[in-house]
Amino acid sequence: MRLYALAVYLFLYIPIGVIALFSFNAGRHAAQFSGFSLQWYGKTLANPFVVNAVKTSFTVAVTSALLATLFGTLAAVALQGVRGRLRLFYDALVYVAVMVPGIVIGIATLIALVTVFDTLNPLLATLFGPENPIQLGLGKGSLIAAHGLFTMALVIIIVRARLQGMDRSLLEASADLGAPPMRSFVQITLPQIAPAVLAGFLLAFTFSFDDFIIAFFVAGSETTLPIYVFSSIRRGVTPEINVIGTLVLAASLLSLITAQVVMRRRSH
């Protein structure tokens, strides 16, 4: 079993290590190591298309993660009071949102947004006139909406798992002492579920930042980092792609370490 576990870990992490190693390649070929060099890091960070793609992905990921965390946490708390068949119905909706393939979500979201835009744009043109046209279209707004709705289900699942393990007697004692529901939530419930809320935010941010399939359908003229990488690979793989992968990996590890430090300090 130890050898099997070692083989699984090697299979998972050796390709990641190879990407990080070849990001320091001095040559122009991604699969042929010609010596150590930082030139591709400089070229990548100086590439305006990469910088704009990173800014777009970061803005969309942060905004959608914040919205998903806020509404997902509120939904998880509200679902704790639902019982019976209605609870099973809501549970099914939450898990189906996670299980549905991304391509289905992307197509469905695209059709829904286009339908809404076709309905609202004539009304906006009538209200504001042809001199000041307001046209709704695909872009950052549609990306934030699509990623927020998808990742909200993940936040609900994580926060609800923490709520189910919480000591309910504390809330009952708070109610007996005359505390209103909002004060009980802020002073008792929220501090206990804070690690789950933070974990939900990080997971929602990661899913949004790394998403390609849904973004490909609803991004419009915007270019996220996964879309840029996909477009670049079609022209040939260069060490620039390895640099992007290494930087994203480093940022993910940094956020994970930061979250662990914050949660340990809160537990102390």
The token pair that represents 159 in the structure block: 């926060």
User: What amino acid is encoded at 160 in this protein?
Assistant: R
Looking at residue 67, its pLDDT comes to: 93
Phi/psi at 36 (5° precision): -80, 135
Q: How far apart are CA 233 and CA 106, in angstroms?
A: 22
What span, in angstroms and rounded, lies between the C-alpha atoms of 164 and 172? 15
**What is the pTM for the complete model shown?**
0.81
Confidence category of residue 31, pLDDT binned at 50, 70, 90? low
Q: Which of 85, 78, 9, 64 is nearest to 214 (CA)?
A: 64
Alpha-carbon 73 to chain mean position: 15
Spatial separation of the C-alpha atoms in residues 38 and 63, rounded to whole Å = 32
Residues 6+ apart with CB under 8 A from 252: 206
pLDDT value at residue 234: 76
Q: What pLDDT is stored for residue 18 in this prediction?
A: 82
pLDDT tens-digit series, residues 167-218: 677 767 777 777 777 777 777 777 778 888 888 888 888 888 888 888 888 8
Amino acid, res. 139: G
pLDDT of residue 65: 92
Give the per-residue pLDDT at 195: 81
Query: Model confidence over 33-51: pLDDT tens digits?
Result: 777 778 888 888 888 888 8
Confidence check: pLDDT of 30 > 70: no
CA 244/CA 230 separation, integer angstroms: 12
Residue type, 151: T
Q: Which domains does the chain have, with CATH numbers?
A: 48-236 (1.10.3720.10)
The pLDDT assigned to 43 comes to: 83
Whether residue 159 contacts residue 193, with contact meaning beta carbons closer than 8 Å, is answered with yes
Contacts of 40-43 spanning 24+ positions with Cβ under 8 A: 40/238, 40/239, 40/240, 40/242, 40/243, 41/243, 43/240
pLDDT (tens digit per residue) in 124-180:
777 776 666 677 778 888 889 888 888 898 889 888 888 877 767 776 777 777 777
Residue 267's pLDDT is what?
Answer: 57
